[in-house]
Structure 1
Amino acid sequence: MSDRTYDIVVYGATGFTGRLVAEYLNTTYGVGGELSWAMAGRSESKLASVRDEMGIPAEVPFVVADAGKPETLKAMAESAKVILTTVGPYQLYGEPLLAACAEAGTDYVDLCGEPAWMAQMIVKYQDQAEKSGARLVFSCGFDSVPFDLGVWYLQREANARLGHSLPRVRGRVRRMKGEFSGGTAASLTATLEAAGKDKSVIKLLTNPFSLVPGSRGPKQPHSVKAEYDEKAQSWTAPFVMAPINTKNVHRTNALAGHPYGEAFLYDERMMTGDGPKGEKRAKSAASREKMQNVMLAIAPTRWLLKQFVLPKPGEGPDKEARETGFYDVLFIGSDDAGNEMRASVQGDKDPGYGSTSKLISECAAALVQDIDRQTTGGGVWTPGAAMGDRLIERLQAKAGLTFKIEE
C-alpha cells in the first residue's frame, strides 16, 4: 500500500455531505500534511467549483471517476489506500466501487444504512476482500458509529470494572437535534422499492442477525409501541435508526469473537420523558412511525413522498443548523446478578451532517494511521470490530464526541 498516490480519496465530493467531508479534512489535516487526500467525482469542473466554494486550497488534487465507467473506478481504487464514499443510495450506486476496492485491496468506508444491501454484499465480497486484504467498512456515519462504539465502550469498561461483559444493553437516545438526511431518505425509498420487488429483502430487514451470515442468535427485545422504561426512568418510543444500528452491533460482537456473549440482547429506543407529557410524546411518536410505515408500504405514497416530502439527495441544513445540532445517547448495561453500568456518547454537531462528516473522515484516517493491516486483515468489517478503542480515541480527540461512564 506504500505505493498508493493518496491516503484518502473522497468520492462524491461535490455532494452535500461530500463537501462537508472535504471541508473537514482540509480544516483538520490541511494539504501536504500527515494525510494526503483528493476530491473525486464525475466532473472536474464541478469539483473545482466546489473546492473554491468551500475555500479549499487549489493544491488539493482531483480524481475524475464515474460509477457508470468501471475503468475509472478501478483506477481510483488503485490510487488510494482508502476510498471514502458518500455516493448513495448504495444499493443503487455502491456495488461497482465496492467491487473495485475488494479487487484492488483498497480499504473502503461509507455511510450505508441499508441493511438488506449490506447483507448481500457481505456474502458476495467477504472472501475476495479477505484474499486482497481490502478492509470494507460500512456504516461509518451517525448510523452506526456512536451506537456501535457506545456498546463497545460500555462493555470494555464493564470488563475492566466488573470482570465480565453485560449480557443485556439498552441503547436510549436521550436528546437529539438534527434534520433528516436527504441521502437517508433516498436510501429508505430505495429499500422499500427493493422490498416490493423481492420479498427476501423483507427477511433481511426484519432479522436482527442478517449481517451475521448463518447466525440466528437469541430472540431480541423489540416493540413498536410506547413503553415506560424503568431503567431509563422515561417513556420511550421506537427509534427510526434502530433497524440498522442493532444489526451492526450484533455483527461487531460476532466479528470480535462474541465478547458481549453469545446470548447478548440489545435494543434501541428514543426517550420522551417521564410523567404524562412523556407518555403523550411517546404514544404520538409511536403512532406517527406506525402510520409512516403503513403509508410507505403503498407504492403511490412512496412516489409522492419522494417527489414532495422527503428531502432530496444533495440537500441539507444550513451551517447554523449543523452547528447547533447535537445528540446524547445513553447505554444501560445489566446482568442477572443485579450489576448495572451506564455509559453515554455525546456529539457536538447535528447527527446527519455535521457529526457524520467528521465520523466517516476519522474512520478513514484511522484505517490509514492507526490500524495495522497485519492484525486487522481483509474482509467486511464494522467500525467497532475494525477500529474499536483507537477510533474512540480519535473521535474524542478530533471529532467532538464524548464517551463517559455515568456513575
Structure 2
Amino acid sequence: MQSTKEFDLVIYGASGFTGRLVAEYLVKQYANDRSLKWAMAGRNQAKLAQVRDDIGAPADIALVIADADDATSMQNMLDRTRLVLTTVGPYQLYGSELVAMCAQSGVDYVDLCGEPVWMREMIDAHQTTAQDSGARIVFSCGFDSIPFDLGVFLLQELAKQQLGATVPRVKGRVRKMRGTFSGGTAASLKATLVAAKQDPNKMQLLLNPFSLTPEFQGPEQPIGNKPYFDAELGTWVTNFIMAAINTRNVHRSNHLLSYAYGENFVYDEMLMTGPGEKGEAIANAVAADKSMSGDKGPKPGEGPSKEEREAGNYDVLFVGIANDGQQVKVSVSAELDPGYGSTAKMIAESAICLIKDALDTKGGIWTAAPAMGNKLIKRLVANAGLTFKQE
C-alpha cells in the first residue's frame, strides 16, 4: 500500500553528533535514490540548517521543528513521517514520550538504546498498543546490538542447515575493537546505574539476563565479569562492557522467534585479550577499568574526528556448540569506529530496511533479528561496510 506520508523517515536529533553522522550517511549513500524521502528534525531550525549545509545535503531536505517539551510539535513530526529514527538519548530521560506517541500513532521507530531496564518498561507499557496500531518499534539498532544480534541469528541459521538443528550454546567473543564508545552510551550507562540504585526492582531487572523476555526465565547464564583463560580458543578473555545489553537483546530475539534457539539457550559475550602473561595482564586491566562510569570520555553530542572514526574497526567471533560437540563459527566485522561511524550506518540501514524490505513485519516492540533478519544483513553488507562470514 502506497504511503500518504510526506516522509519515509525523519532523523530526530539531526543536529547532534550522531544524528549528523546519520544524515551525512544518507546524503552520501542515497544521493541518487529519489524514492527515499527523508527529513531532519530537532529543536533549533538554525542548527538544523547549519548541519544541512555543512554535510552538503540538498537545499530541499526538509527541516522539521520538534521539541520533546512540546507535544504538539512532536505529533506534527509523527503525522508527516512513516518512521522516526532517533539519536536523542539517554532514552530513559528523553525517549519515553516519543515511544508512546509512535506506538499510539502507528509510526515506526528505531533508536540506539542500550538501556535494558527502560526498554522493559516500554515493552510492558506499549507492546499491545504498537501491535494494535501497526507501529514497529525496534530498539538497539547500533553497535549495541546489531552485530551481536544478527551474528547469533546467522550462526543459528547456518547450524540448522549444516547440523540439522540450532545449537544450545553460543559464545560471543570480541577479537578486535578499535574506537570510542559514544558519549551517549556512557550517559546511558550512568543514568541506568543511578535509576537502578534508587529502585530495587530496576536493579533486579538490570541484573536479569531475561529482563526483556516477560514471563520467561531461561537457564542460568555465565556472568562473564571475571577474566579467565579459554582453553578452547587459546586466549584470555575478560568482561565486555556491552554484554549487559547485547545478551538481553539476543535472548529477546530468541523469545520473539518462538525460541528458535531453544528454551535452554545459553549465550555470553567476552573480550579476547590474547594468550600468555601479556593476555592475562590486559584481561585484568580491562576488568579493573571503570572509566565508562566516570566523568572522562566524550559527553553526549561529542565524539571522535573523521580520521579517528575511519581508523576504527571491530571483529566479533561467534562460536556455536551443539550437544554432541560439533561447532559452527561465524564472524561479524567492520572497518569503522564502532560507537559512531559504524553505528550511524547501521541505524540508517535498519530504518530503510524496516520501511522498504520488512513490509510483512507486524506491529510490536522488536529486536533487529526477528524484525529484519537476513534482509538487514544483506543491506549492511551491501551498503554499510559490515562483513558476515562463516569461519
Q: Name the TM-score, length of structure 1 as normaliser.
A: 0.94
Q: After alignment, is 268-277 or 28-37 more displaced?
A: 28-37
Letter in 1 for 2:146: V
Does the 8 A contact of 2:334 with 2:385 survive in 1?
yes
* Aligned equivalent of 2:353: 366
2:318 maps to which of 314, 331, 341: 331
Does the 8 A contact of 1:11 with 1:39 survive in 2?
yes
* Aligned equivalent of 1:52: 53
* Offset, 1:231: 2.6
* Aligned equivalent of 2:389: 404
Q: Percent same amino acid among aligned pairs?
A: 55
* Aligned equivalent of 2:368: 383
What do residues 146-202 of structure 1 show as CA deviations (whole Å, max 9, x unaligned)? 000000000101111111111100000000000121111111111121112212111
Does the 8 A contact of 2:181 with 2:338 survive in 1?
no
1:392 maps to which of 336, 352, 377: 377
Letter in 1 for 2:386: L
Partner SS for 1:170: strand
What do residues 114-149 of structure 1 show as CA deviations (whole Å, max 9, x unaligned)? 011001110000000000000000000000000000
Matches within 5 A, 1:8-407: 8-30=9-31, 33-289=34-290, 305-306=294-295, 309-372=296-359, 375-406=360-391
Separation in 1, partners of 2:78, 2:150: 28
* Offset, 1:230: 2.2
Q: Name the TM-score, length of structure 2 as normaliser.
A: 0.98
Letter in 2 for 1:354: G
What do residues 8-53 of structure 1 show as CA deviations (whole Å, max 9, x unaligned)? 1000000000000000011111276121100000011110011111
Separation in 2, partners of 1:311, 1:325: 16
Does the 8 A contact of 1:231 with 1:332 survive in 2?
no
Separation in 2, partners of 1:197, 1:268: 28
Structure 2: 5+ residue runs without aligned partners? none
Does the 8 A contact of 1:31 with 1:57 survive in 2?
no
Instruction: Note the aligned Cα RMSD (angstroms).
Output: 1.2
Q: Size of the alignment, in residue pairs?
A: 390
Separation in 2, partners of 1:283, 1:228: 11
* Aligned equivalent of 1:2: 3
Separation in 2, partners of 1:231, 1:29: 44
Does the 8 A contact of 2:90 with 2:187 survive in 1?
yes
Separation in 2, partners of 1:32, 1:71: 31
Separation in 1, partners of 2:39, 2:280: 49
* Offset, 1:287: 2.5
Separation in 1, partners of 2:289, 2:11: 37
* Offset, 1:347: 1.1
Partner SS for 1:83: strand
* Offset, 1:222: 1.6
Structure 1: 5+ residue runs without aligned partners? 297-304
Separation in 2, partners of 1:157, 1:196: 41
Partner SS for 2:236: strand
Does the 8 A contact of 1:179 with 1:350 survive in 2?
yes
Letter in 1 for 2:314: Y
Separation in 2, partners of 1:204, 1:62: 39
Does the 8 A contact of 2:224 with 2:269 survive in 1?
no
Does the 8 A contact of 2:224 with 2:270 survive in 1?
no
Separation in 2, partners of 1:223, 1:367: 33
Partner SS for 1:364: helix
